[in-house]
């Protein structure tokens, strides 16, 4: 049928051309050639375009598939970089972990020391002294930059303690992601009962026995959570957080927390509020200073002592606390931190309020090692 129509069209065109003047006939011929040439060009261009789109689609699909790695246990491949898939699986497993410490008959409840660092731990020799002889009472987890691949000696307490990690940016949600990643790894160990977040600039102020007894003897977590009416407090609140988080819920606190297992489980299990914070708490709102303090204030304030056990000096102002160097290290200076405050501990007033302190530069290591026998009784 189609061929008959084309033949009829050509026959009619020939008859019309015979009747028309020769000049007009050439014009018709030229127009017809141009018309069919244009149609052919358009068809060719369309075919080339579709071919290019198909190749691009296939390339992106292959690239996506090659980027997905087989999912393994988060406790494996300590040097591998984290992935979104691995993180989701880790969080899923951690959310199902028991909220109370579960131990065998021969186990003791442990303190999980979680180090959030950029590279190595320059003050590790001091921590080696602190941990020595107490191997059954602690666990160590280290989150570093994924670009950092060096491993300490096998004799070190930090040997093979790194977890799969991702890059962390100061003030961004990636900082809070790293904290939750550390908590999730630590809570998978049933005997971990207390969870301490530390940085590479932190030092222990007392020996291990004192720290362990202090933390295990407490029925509450140690997390600063207060209502700050200043622009750097309430001023960071975003009304878009409503209805999940109101201004009356909003709290601020020290990033470096110590949590009981029950509170740590609440933090890891939370999805609703963390999504709200990731969407609406961005610089100059710093999620690591507001998310956990606000969450704990909202869902379990009675489980928090509302103070931190990690001392920092904010007296110099600015967005970062004071950093201490070699010349600052004196017994008197450290004793003021150790015994110079009053606070409540299990209903009693005590002058031992801080167990850790920061920020200590690597230059402080030598004088700290000299003072270590006094600090730790070794």
DSSP letter string, 123-165: THHHHHHHHTT-GGGEEEEEE--TT------TTSTTTT-B--B
Fold of domain 81-308: Spore Coat Polysaccharide Biosynthesis Protein SpsA; Chain A (3.90.550)
User: Is the model's pLDDT at 99 over the cut of 80?
Assistant: yes
The helix/strand/coil state of 176 is helix
Cα separation of 88 and 76, whole Å? 15
Per-residue pLDDT reduced to its tens digit, 14-41: 555 555 554 555 555 656 656 666 666 6
pLDDT at residue 374, as a whole number:
97
Structure tokens given for 135:
């191997």
User: What SS3 state is found at 231?
Assistant: coil
- The residues pairing with 311 across neighbouring beta strands, listed in sequence order, are 357
76-81: long-range pairs with CB below 8 Å, 24+: 77/164, 78/160, 78/161, 78/162, 78/163, 78/164, 79/149, 79/162, 80/164, 81/146, 81/164, 81/165, 81/166
Choose the weakest-confidence range: 46-50, 272-276, 342-346, 367-371: 46-50
DSSP conformation letters of 61-128: HHHHHHHPPPP--TTS-TTSBP-HHHHHHHHHHHHTS-SS----TT---EEEEEEE-SS--TTHHHHH
Domain ranges of the chain: 81-308
> Would you say residue 63 has pLDDT above 60?
no
- Backbone phi and psi for residue 226, each to the nearest 5 degrees, phi listed first: -140, 160
Q: Which residue has the higher pLDDT, 58 or 282?
A: 282
């Amino acid at each position: 049928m189609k061929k008959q129509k084309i033949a009829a069209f050509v026959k009619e065109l020939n008859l019309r051309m015979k009747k028309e003047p020769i000049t007009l006939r050439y014009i018709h011929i030229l127009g017809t050639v141009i018309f069919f040439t244009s149609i052919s060009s358009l068809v060719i261009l369309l075919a080339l375009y579709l071919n290019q789109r198909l190749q691009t689609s296939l390339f992106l699909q292959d690239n996506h598939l090659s980027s997905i790695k087989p999912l393994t246990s988060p406790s494996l491949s300590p040097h591998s970089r984290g992935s979104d898939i691995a993180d989701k699986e880790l969080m899923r497993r951690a959310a199902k972990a028991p909220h109370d410490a579960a131990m065998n008959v021969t186990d003791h409840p442990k303190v999980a020391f979680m180090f959030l660092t950029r590279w190595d731990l320059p003050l590790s020799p001091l921590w080696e002294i602190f941990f020595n002889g107490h191997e059954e009472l602690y666990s160590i987890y280290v989150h570093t930059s994924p670009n950092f691949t060096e491993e300490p000696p096998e004799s070190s307490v930090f040997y093979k303690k790194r977890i799969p990690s991702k890059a962390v940016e100061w003030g961004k949600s990636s900082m809070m992601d790293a904290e939750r990643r550390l908590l999730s790894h630590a809570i998978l160990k049933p005997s971990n009962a207390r969870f301490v977040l530390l940085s590479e600039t932190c030092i222990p102020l007392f020996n291990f026995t004192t720290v362990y007894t202090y933390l295990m003897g407490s029925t509450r977590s140690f997390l600063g959570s207060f209502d700050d009416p200043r622009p750097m407090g309430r001023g960071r609140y975003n009304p878009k957080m409503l209805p999940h988080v109101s201004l009356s819920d909003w709290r601020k606190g020290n990033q470096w927390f110590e949590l009981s297992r029950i509170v740590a489980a609440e933090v890891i299990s939370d999805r609703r509020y963390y999504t709200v914070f990731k969407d609406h708490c961005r610089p100059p709102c710093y999620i690591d200073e507001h998310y956990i303090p606000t969450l704990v204030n909202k869902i379990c304030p009675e489980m928090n002592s509302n103070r931190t056990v990690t001392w920092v000096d904010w007296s110099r102002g600015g967005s970062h606390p004071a950093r201490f160097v070699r010349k600052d290290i004196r017994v008197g200076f450290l004793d003021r931190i150790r015994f110079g405050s009053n606070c409540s501990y299990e209903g009693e007033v005590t002058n031992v309020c801080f167990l850790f302190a920061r920020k200590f530069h690597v230059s402080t290591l030598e004088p700290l090692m000299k003072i270590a026998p006094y600090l730790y009784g070794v």
